[in-house]
Chains A and B, each alone.
Chain A
Amino acid sequence: MEKAACHHLLENLAGYLDGEASAELCAELERHLDGCTDCRVVVDTLRKTSALYHELPQPELPPAARLRLYKSLDLSEFLNSSA
């Protein structure tokens, strides 16, 4: 990760990953990725990192906390209607 081309890739990576880079820049970065194992790994593992977070189960408000929430807002009367 020391070559100027690697730095160029890193500087533009955010836009590239979010699909905001121009077609021309994308082509340029992809040429570099074809020949640079280190940058390839960085891009692949960055994508994988995002993917893993998207698959993560979502934490839920515990039922007891939900009861307390409605109570604190003086909304207990609506607890059953929308469970």
Chain B
Amino acid sequence: MLNEDNDQALLERIRRGDKSACAECVERHSPGVYRLALRLTGNEAEAEDVVQETFLSAFKAIDSFEGRSGLSTWLYRIAHNAALMRLRRVQPDQVSVDDEEVFGEGLDVPRQLHAWCCLPERDFESSEARIELERAVRELPEKLRAVFVMRELEALSTEETAEALDVSIDVVKVRLYRARLQLRERLSAYFTEIARTEV
């Protein structure tokens, strides 16, 4: 990651109690933490609370941070846990869905087989399409959503995502693939319908 060296220096300053370093850390990392929180909780107010909680706990626990992972990965990890606690409070049954974690067995078989790639660009760029894209992520099972947001939207590496979620690299790969398949199904249904109405 680009910020890693700077983050190391920043970390030292935060540990020495330098408040301007804390401010820099917030400035640098709050946009990503907010996007993650918003996409995990699906709610602006909740996301704002998660961001506050994340930095409060991070600064409090800064001495116990071993620096094995990058600072941003560690912050994502705290934010994910905070968001998860909130989700469990609001939708207790939503989080405990156990899914298949190996390739092959029980794989989701694609059902939507219409080729919608060649729709005109405006159909993909409409605000309605964007709302549909966001909604599709929000309605993924929580475990798949967390991986998809970190890997695909926040561009964390497979290793960083595994670290942030405390799962193995293979689990990250399986969940990312399953998330992509599920989103593809959902978007296929949406864009196929659009293709039909345009003929």
Write the residues of chain A forming the contact surface with B, with a CB cutoff of 8 angstroms. 1, 10-11, 13-14, 17-18, 38, 40-42, 44-46, 48-50, 52-62, 65-66, 68-70, 72-75, 77-78, 81-82
By the criterion CB–CB under 8 Å, are A50 and B152 in contact?
yes
Q: Which residue of A lies closest to B183 (CB)?
A: A49
Q: Write the nearest CB–CB distance from B109 to chain A, whole angstroms.
A: 6
A75-B113 contact given A11-B104, A53-B152, A59-B34, CB 8 Å threshold: no
Any A CB within 8 A of the CB of B65: no
Give 14 pairs: A residue, B residue, CB < 8 Å, sorted on A.
A1-B110, A17-B177, A38-B113, A42-B113, A45-B187, A48-B116, A50-B152, A61-B31, A65-B51, A73-B55, A73-B56, A73-B59, A75-B22, A78-B23
By the criterion CB–CB under 8 Å, are A52 and B124 in contact?
yes
Could you say which of A1, A45, A68 contacts B188, with CB atoms under 8 Å apart?
A45
> Given the complex of chains A and B, what is the CA–CA distance between A74 and B30 in angstroms?
15
A contact patch SS: helix
Can you name 18 extra interface pairs (CB under 8 A) apart from A14-B173, A68-B52, A72-B56? A1-B110, A10-B109, A11-B103, A14-B103, A44-B117, A45-B115, A45-B117, A54-B152, A59-B34, A62-B44, A65-B44, A69-B30, A73-B55, A73-B59, A75-B19, A75-B23, A77-B19, A78-B20
Interface string of B52-68 (1 = CB under 8 A from A): 10011001000000000
Inter-chain contacts of A1 with B (CB < 8 A): 109-110, 113
Inter-chain contacts of B35 with A (CB < 8 A): 58-59
Give the contact-size bracket for chain B: 35 or more
Q: Write the nearest CB–CB distance from A50 to chain B, whole angstroms.
A: 6
Inter-chain contacts of A66 with B (CB < 8 A): 30
By the criterion CB–CB under 8 Å, are A65 and B180 in contact?
no
